[in-house]
Amino acid sequence: MRDGSGGDPGGVRAGARSPARPEGLARRHDDDGSSRDRLTALVRLLTGAPIASVTVAGAGPHGTAPESLCRTVLGSGRPLVLDDVRGDERTREDPSVAGAGVLAWAGFPVHAADGRVAGVLSAADTAVRAWTARDVEVLGRLADVASQELALRALAVDAEAARARSQFLSRIGDALPIGAGLADSWATIARVALPVLADLAVVSSVEESGLLRVQALEHRSRDRQPRLADLAGVLTRRRGDRHGAGRVLATGATELLPDLAGLDGLSEGQRELRARFDAASEISVALRARGELLGVLTLVRTSGRAPFGPDDVEVAEAVAERAALALDRALSYDHERSLSTHLQRALLPTALPRFPGLELVARYVPAGNAQVVGGDWYDAYRDRSGTTRLVIGDVAGHDIHAATLMGQLRTMVRVAGHDGSRSPAAVLDAVDTATGALDAPVFATALVAQVSDDGRQLVWSSAGHLPPLLLGPTGAVSSLETRPDPVLGLDLGSAGRARRDHTAVLPPGTTVLLYTDGLVERRGEDLDAGLDRLADVAAELAPGERPLAEVCDLLLERLGARADDDIAVLAVRTSPARGDTDESAVRYRSQQDQRHD
């Protein structure tokens, strides 16, 4: 017997496989047995042994090899050469050796690139044989060839993993939101790591109180997606928790927990995740933007997957780096939106004036999450002659510039119409002329209207704005559509500037509705469809004694939920006449000949 182990080999090194790629490496050897076929054929050819095997840890044997003998070589890291296995006390009574029918066996370690023992190359015979020095040399050299093959396979696995990581991270960059606020970014950050990297993701924000509040909880399976409200309380983490997100909050350092079952002092949230989702391993990584710790991303794997390892930490931190870019954009978005909102709120009327015989209601709704606050505005005032003036407009753009320009145009319209000498068309022409003095180009729609003292006549002019809508108290609806006049800011010269005034008679109890395009426009839909939808909803709301404020609120509720743009609404209702019951029609005529010189 020749034994290179130098004594009792002890137990098998179950943890000998690299944590970075054990599954991939074993899988590559399972999938490609051709190289091991060649090696085992060479073993049989060069030694004359009838049995040959190459065993790779985690992949199982390729050929017939007694498990206990392979474990001995794996544990010792040294060759084991037995002329007669019955003469060795370690194998004499081993049923796996006897069951294999092997009497002579020689096994040599196969090493991975990092020097660890990753497999065994062996030759065996069903009869007792004396292994020659040449046999030992051949087997040793073929084991070296197997080691080189294993190293090449490992490099291929690493390269494949690197490509997969690169593609994964590239997809993450595409998936993270642009033009969204912080509140809408949390859930996207949670989703990007699923299912490639984790089975469950939890994103928590840092609160002023020092707690981590759960903002998003995503499961890889839609069928098992939990309700955030059900777990938000129990998943709250505290600074200084022994493990996980709470510890990351205190240290700022990534924490890898490859085996949650073996840890003491788990938080209530971690115990809940183990019980409800079979959480087995966890990575928690800090989410930073502008040098500030904003939150923690916790990734969870169940027991059905390999536990997280060092390579996964590297990927998780790369995910966090890309998420930080999205968070930085979200902070900028929220900051700009806040500035725009405050600016626009400051520029809009704080309260509408009261006019005898008229009821006025206005509403403004900022754009949804897809846009920053834009340039919609409204105004109502009494000019020097005592006439009621109504204004609504929309500046192109969705940023601070649009809100600032809106404020300038609102002031210009009011100044142009304040003395009462100009008709609505003349006011718009005056403002159009004055826009050339502004520092920035102008592209805006606007509608200026005036209501007669008795409330029975509406005169208006439109600079490319949507038509007013008249609502009779019995439900009759009429859109005051006219041939469009140019928008503000086109610089058409004096010949192209003249706009027309139009007149409509307002029976008692009529409502005039002025609005911006956010109320009717929908992405991918024709504008006429939106105008028809507005008319249908208005017809349902108009009849009866419904208060004007309620009519406006219901319009926004039914039509504004899917809006991609901000919305301004200005509504005026004339006083009903006593005993006047015939409100079924609203007479309208367009004064095509009332042109402003």
Mean pLDDT of 120-146: 95
Question: 182-333: what CATH class?
Answer: alpha beta
Burial class (CB in 10 A: 0-12, 13-18, 19+), 365: middle
Per-position DSSP letters for 325-371, written without gaps between them: HHHHHHHHHHHHHHHHHHHHHHHS-SSPPPBTTEEEEEEEE---TTS
Domains 182-333 and 348-589 share a fold: no
Mean pLDDT of 304-311: 90
Q: Count the Cβ atoms, other than its own, within 10 Å of residue 444.
A: 24
Q: Where are the domains of the chain?
A: 2-158, 182-333, 348-589
Instruction: Output phi, psi for 91, to 5 deg.
Output: -120, -10
CA distance 198 to 416: 63
* Arch. (CATH architecture) of 2-158: 2-Layer Sandwich (3.30)
CA distance 502 to 424: 9
Q: Which pLDDT does position 396 carry in this prediction?
A: 85
**3-state SS assignment for residue 416:** helix
Asked whether the predicted pLDDT for residue 463 surpasses 50, the reply is yes
Asked whether the predicted pLDDT for residue 25 surpasses 90, the reply is no
468-517 pLDDT tens trace:
999 988 889 999 999 889 999 886 665 555 789 999 999 999 999 999 99
Mean pLDDT of 79-106: 85
CA distance 558 to 568: 15
Q: Are the CB atoms for 187 and 284 separated by under 8 Å?
A: no
The rounded mean pLDDT for the chain is 82
Which regions of 94-241 does DSSP assign to beta strands (E)?
104-111, 117-125, 200-206, 211-219, 237-238
Residue 310 vs residue 92, higher pLDDT: 310
> Distances in Å between the alpha carbon of 409 and those of 403, 405, 417?
10, 6, 12
Q: Which pLDDT does position 581 carry in this prediction?
A: 41
348-589 topology per CATH = Phosphatase 2c; domain 1 (3.60.40)
Q: Count the Cβ atoms, other than its own, within 10 Å of residue 516.
A: 28
